[in-house]
């Protein structure tokens, strides 16, 4: 099993694997090109995103620059997706975002996990857990979503929240750690 196959399976893998590092660097080149485009060049931006991301449901996707991701192909976005500037997605595992999702500025979605033991962490071995965001979700600015989290449908996540656990559908959640404060 390759290190990439281990990574996608949620198994421990070496983050210093030569093939993974080559892929990361190739994606960084694509991201650089994307972030260097004029904001008004929507056609070229869409063309790059279609080649970079694993799945785009329609042409009504907007990801404002700058945008950062590690691999791209592990990211799937639904219809009418909008992300404001400075979206960062560490997509070592699958990241699925549903239809009609809106993401505020400075949002980070993380799938990569590291040991809390310094000796283990220094081996550069890590693992990843997927993130799933449902349909009709609004994620406020400066939100951080941690590995393994599922956010249900029709959810609002308040600005500045740190989402450490699953958030059920039809709710408003805020805080650090993020907690449901209201059912819709």
From the candidates 32, 43, 50, 114, give the one annotated as an active-site residue.
Answer: 114
CB 171 within 8 A of CB 183: yes
Beta pairing, strands 144-145 & 108-110:
parallel
Distances (CA, A) of 111 to 38, 39, 117: 30, 28, 19
Comparing CA positions, the residue from 1, 6, 176 lying closest to residue 92 is 6
Q: What is the C-alpha to C-alpha distance for residues 145 and 106, in angstroms, rounded to an integer?
A: 12
Which two tokens mark 149? 């989290």
What residues pair up with 62 in beta bridges, in sequence order? 82
Please give the order of strands across the beta sheet that includes 13-14.
13-14, 125-128, 112-113
> Is there a catalytic annotation at residue 55?
no
Rounded to whole angstroms, how far apart are CA atoms 87 and 106?
6
Q: Which residues are identified as catalytic?
A: 114
């Amino acid at each position: 099993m390759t290190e990439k196959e281990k990574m996608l399976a949620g198994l421990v893998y070496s983050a210093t694997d030569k093939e993974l590092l080559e892929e990361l660097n190739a994606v960084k080149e694509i991201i650089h090109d994307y972030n260097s485009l004029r904001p008004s060049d929507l056609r070229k931006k869409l063309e790059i995103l279609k080649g970079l991301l694993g799945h785009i449901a329609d042409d009504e996707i907007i990801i404002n620059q700058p945008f950062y991701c590690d691999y791209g192909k592990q990211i799937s976005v639904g219809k009418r997706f909008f992300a404001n500037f400075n979206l960062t997605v560490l997509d070592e595992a699958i990241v699925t975002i549903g239809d009609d999702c809106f993401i505020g500025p400075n949002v980070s979605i993380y799938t990569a996990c590291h040991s809390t033991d310094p000796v283990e962490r220094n081996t550069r071995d890590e693992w990843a857990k997927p993130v799933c965001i449902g349909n009709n979700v609004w994620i406020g600015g400066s939100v951080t979503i941690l590995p393994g989290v599922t956010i249900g449908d029709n959810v609002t996540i308040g600005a500045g929240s740190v989402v450490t656990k699953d958030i059920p559908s039809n709710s408003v959640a805020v805080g650090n750690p993020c907690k449901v404060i209201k059912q819709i």
